[in-house]
Amino acid sequence: MGAAKDRVLQLLCLVALVWAVVVGRDLRKEVLSRQLRNPEKYPQFSDFWTALGSFVGMLIAQLLFRPVFSAVARAMIPKKARWSYPVWGAKVERCCDSVFKCCYYAAMTVWCFSILQGQPWMPWVLGGSGSTRFCWTDGYPFQQNSPELRRFYLTAVGFHLSEVAFLLLEVRKPDFWEMMLHHTVSCTLVGYSYLLNYVRLGSLVLLLHGATDVFIYFSKVMVDTPHTRLIVWSYFGLIAAYAWFRIYVFPVFIMRSAWIEGVQETGGEVYGWGYLNFALCVLLLLHMYWFGLIIKIGFHFRATGQARDLQSNLSSMDMQETKKDFERQALGVGGGGEQQPPLPDRRMLPPLQDKLVYAP
């Protein structure tokens, strides 16, 4: 099942990358044409220096935060006997990263809401009083967007790029292909949408994802701690936020606007419309898959009183190492070519269970 899932994710990653390259090949010509027609209102390629600064800043800040907060994280997550030291280290690292990202998304959500509050394209489901139809009016694609909104957007571009860098540079975890697909479509969406001036619709996407991510990463902070009551409350908060923002608002308002309203308001002149909607559909597919895992976690907790990691599944790192050891024993050699002592019967190994972790 896991291998089949990974093959599907790899195929979707390949399709997304190839399609993004095809769109990006002609995107520069389209953007230059628009810049010449209205250089004052249209985004410039040089704006991405701000995104580059955000990318470097996020990388450095997160790398520095880990050693600073790790002592606190180790105190929050006492090591359990069934955890190997690599698994415990991965949990401590995840806690550090989750605290950082929870603070980041909380700040970005407040910043975005303060910018969008009162804007005509901010729908009631996100706390506004407008309509998503206005994402495509006011002279699109030459809409006037505030410098503050552009700064917010470029900060988000840099952060998404830093997420890809961490994913590629660090030890590969069991959810690698899920996150690779997510980051691929997220980075191309946020980058292309800025250059093509889909900033209004994109800002709504960033707002609803950021609001959900606050609950996601708070849950990840608490998940391996002994504070069961906080874990349960964070779980129900996550269920409510995820269901509202990603299962209801995202397809019913955001995807509908990209799919239908954009064509209606612009007369079909939405550059990259096919890839835009493909990427949004991929995100929705991931949302539905992760939401199913979250629901499954709740049923498992109710049945056993213990939550398990069904998405990141860090404890499977131990299982992977055990499997490699058995394979080496079957060959009769170890890492250096010497004969190895017999390994214990797999049935005698302690069960590898893990606390829950929630989907991004």
pLDDT in tens, 228-251: 888 889 999 999 999 999 999 999
Does the CA dihedral 185-260-270-207 come out positive or negative? Answer: negative
The set of residues, in sequence order, having a beta carbon less than 8 Å from that of 60 and lying 6+ positions away, is none
Is 311 or 215 the better-scoring residue by pLDDT?
215
Report whether 267 contacts 192 (CB < 8 A). no
Q: What mean pLDDT, rounded, does the chain reach?
A: 86
Instruction: Dump pLDDT digits (tens) for 217-227.
Output: 999 898 888 88
* 3-class SS of residue 267: coil
Token representation of residue 203: 């800002």
Each residue of 81-97: pLDDT tens digit?
888 888 888 889 989 99
Rounded CA separation 154/131 (Å) = 24
Does 344 score more than 80 pLDDT? no
Q: Residue 269 carries which DSSP code? A: -
Q: Give residue 101's identity as a one-letter amino acid code.
A: K
5-39 pLDDT, tens digit per residue, is 889 999 999 999 999 999 998 899 999 999 999 88
Distance CA 332, CA 342 (A): 9
Cα 279 to Cα 282: distance, rounded to the nearest angstrom: 5
Q: Report phi then psi at 358, rounded to 5.
A: -105, 155
**Three-class SS state of 123:** strand
Q: What pLDDT score does 225 carry?
A: 85
- Helix count (H) and strand count (E) of the chain? 11, 0
pLDDT digits (tens, 9 = 90+) for 148-167: 999 999 999 999 999 999 99
Classify residue 126 by its DSSP letter. Answer: G
Find the mean pLDDT for residues 266-287. Answer: 92
**Extended beta strands in 209-279, E state:** none
- pLDDT confidence of residue 313: 55
pLDDT in tens, 281-307: 999 999 999 999 899 888 877 777 665
Residue 330 has a pLDDT of 45
What pLDDT, on the 0 to 100 scale, is given for residue 314? 56
> Cα torsion for 148, 149, 150, 156, to the nearest 10°?
110
pLDDT of residue 355: 42
Query: What mean pLDDT comes out for the span 193-216?
Result: 96
